[in-house]
Chains A and B, each alone.
Chain A
């Protein structure tokens, strides 16, 4: 079953007076509990696609169907209500939260906005969310800037799952994390996917990470789809020039295994 279907998406910007296509005729689908990776060098349009899908920016052309309905047709309160099902986790968890916020406030907002829990019930729900992402419930009273980067990203994931979404856009969500933390966060994401049947649009420039968690991959070059297919097959045998360049540039640990 298809959660998100994007067809012929296009977005143009002006750079130095000249129009250029940030996203050019991109189409893809994501099924329930599926991870689709968007790979490509910087400037290839990965993040623009993420923002278009989330309607943080509006496309110049194309169609976005989310859970079987025209997502671009929504506006105002209807759009805000629908957003509960389509969430996002950013690269830098410090920048993704109001610098004055506490963990509790960050998690309280989605529960309050979408009437998921009454005011009296919310502290309990917040504690449950924190525990779901592997954090101690006592963290709720801490300020966002006081906790570690890995903890912050877990809070970001807790906020994203608070409204029980069917799709989460992960925009370089593990790129800024330490490798040891990164593994744990990826495991958490996979665990959530299995339990809650969440689909991921996984944006990354790191093929190693993509290969570890994604089912399918789309390789982008200058806003266009260069190639797509099964993640492991594409990475093992890239066909496009940009795909080959990405694979060649990925650092390898040449270990003579015992």
Chain B
């Protein structure tokens, strides 16, 4: 409770929390408020917003309900963003822990692989991966994680390098604990906090990457995505700009919300650390 109060001390954190909460509500409520296929035709094509009460944000070129698409798109954005970030953090902390704890050749090999991934822009990597394997939700998540795990790996390794010199790691060796158990049960949990601090940046980047992939037509074709909606509206940008602007605003607000909330978390933990 105390933690929550400290988190909500800055206006930025409050704004971020509100945006994220709204987004989560949208994602959860989408199947209830808009049951059925959001890609089904709901009315006349290119109906402008605020004309028809049952279609408040109008319809797109094919007569699909923009509001329904927006809600269902929130599901995709959140799901892909969180899943990709989780995968990146998981891969990154495992690789970083192994490299930092084992040292020597293992460290060298793993870190050179990390270097290799880091020199290729993450988006290009995702693009290439999806083009080869074919678009589906799982592939998109994997593609984004592929470009995002290197940051967590480096942070985890640095943290592990300092933790492995502590007495309790020596103590674990003295009682005969297996090195892998020491690495993942004793060291990794204590190395996680700075790695987790990266998560807001990674989630935000993952949401943007997903949107960009969808914009290029490499998203899961069976799902509504904000990136796909923007691409869809692009062809009628001059006559019906709202088709691109509405999902664009949603995207900007989401990324902003994730950043602000993440910043708030980091700030509140920093305050706690300086207090203790």
Given A100-B189, A100-B190, residue A80 in contact with residue B167 (CB < 8 A): no
- Of B122-130, B137-145, B173-181, B217-225, the one touching chain A: B173-181
Interface residues on B, range: 10 to 19
B67 vs chain A, min Cβ distance (A): 47
Query: Is B186 engaged at the interface, CB distance under 8 Å to the other chain?
Result: yes
A85 CB to nearest B CB, Å: 10
Q: How many Å from the CB of B175 to the closest CB on chain A?
A: 4
Q: Per-residue 0/1 for A76-101: is the Cβ within 8 Å of any B Cβ (1 yes, 0 no)?
A: 00001101101110101001111110
- Give the Cβ gap from A102 to chain B, nearest Cβ, in Å: 14
Shortest distance between the CB of B183 and any CB in chain A (Å): 13
- Cβ of B172 under 8 Å from chain A: yes
A109 at the interface (CB under 8 A from B): yes
- For B177, list chain A residues within 8 Å (CB): 80, 109, 113
Query: In the bound complex, how far is the Cα of B23 from the Cα of A252, in angstroms?
Result: 71
Beta-carbon contacts of A139-163 to B below 8 Å, as 1s and 0s? 0000000000000000000010001
Whether A110 sits at the interface, judged by CB under 8 Å, is yes
- B36 lies within 8 A of chain A by Cβ: no
A45 CA to B171 CA in the complex, in Å? 20
Q: Are A88 and B178 in contact (CB under 8 A)?
A: no
Instruction: State A80–B171 Cα separation when bound (angstroms).
Output: 12
A113 to B182, CA, bound (A): 12
Given known A95-B167, A96-B168, contact A80–B189 (CB-CB < 8 A): no
How far, in angstroms, from A113 to B174 measured CA to CA in the complex?
11
Expressed in whole angstroms, the minimum distance between the Cβ of B251 and any Cβ of chain A is 39
User: Which chain A positions have C-beta within 8 A of B238?
Assistant: none
Q: Mark B129-155, 1 if CB is under 8 A from A, else 0.
A: 000000000000000000000000000
Instruction: Kindly report which residue of chain A lies nearest to residue B173, judged by CB atoms.
Output: A56
* B 181-237 contacts with A by CB, 8 A: 186, 189-190
The DSSP consensus for interface residues of chain B is helix
Q: In the complex, A57→B171 CA distance in Å?
A: 13
User: Using a Cβ–Cβ cut-off of 8 Å, how many residues does chain A contribute to the interface with B?
Assistant: 24
Interface: A54 (CB within 8 A) = yes
Q: With the chains together, A194 CA to B119 CA distance in Å?
A: 63
Q: Is the CB of B174 within 8 A of A87?
A: yes
Q: A98-B186, A99-B190 are in contact. Are A87 and B175 (CB under 8 A)?
A: yes
Is B174 within 8 A of A54, CB to CB? yes
A95-B166, A96-B168 known; A114 vs B189 contact (CB < 8 Å) = no
In the complex, A54→B173 CA distance in Å?
9
A97 to chain B, nearest CB (A): 5
Given A98-B190, A100-B189, A100-B190; A110-B176 close (CB under 8 Å): yes
Contact between A92 and B167, CB atoms less than 8 A apart: yes
Q: Smallest distance from the beta carbon of B7 to chain A beta carbons, Å?
A: 22
Are B172 and A109 in contact (CB-based, < 8 A)? yes
Please give me the residue from chain B that is nearest to A85 by CB atom.
Answer: B176
- Interface status of B45 (Cβ within 8 A of chain A): no
CB neighbours of A100 from chain B (8 A): 189-190
Q: How far is the CB of A227 from chain B (nearest CB, A)?
A: 29
B112 to chain A, nearest CB (A): 25
| B167 and A83 contacting across the interface, CB-CB below 8 Å | no
Across the interface, name the chain A residue whose C-beta is closest to B170.
A56
* Residues of chain B with a CB closer than 8 A to A114's CB: 176
Extra inter-chain contacts (5) besides given A56-B170, A80-B176, A83-B173, CB under 8 Å? A54-B174, A80-B177, A83-B174, A113-B175, A159-B175
Q: Which residues of B contact A (CB under 8 A)?
A: 166-168, 170-178, 186, 189-190
A interface with B by C-beta (< 8 Å): 51, 54, 56, 80-81, 83-84, 86-88, 90, 92, 95-100, 109-110, 113-114, 159, 163
Provide 16 A-B residue pairs closer than 8 Å at the C-beta atoms, listed in order of the A residue.
Answer: A54-B170, A54-B174, A56-B173, A80-B176, A80-B178, A81-B176, A83-B175, A83-B176, A88-B174, A90-B171, A95-B167, A95-B168, A98-B190, A109-B175, A110-B176, A113-B176
Please list the 10 inter-chain residue pairs (A to B) with the smallest Cβ-Cβ separation, ordered nearest first.
Answer: A80-B176, A83-B176, A95-B167, A110-B175, A96-B167, A88-B174, A96-B171, A90-B167, A98-B168, A113-B176
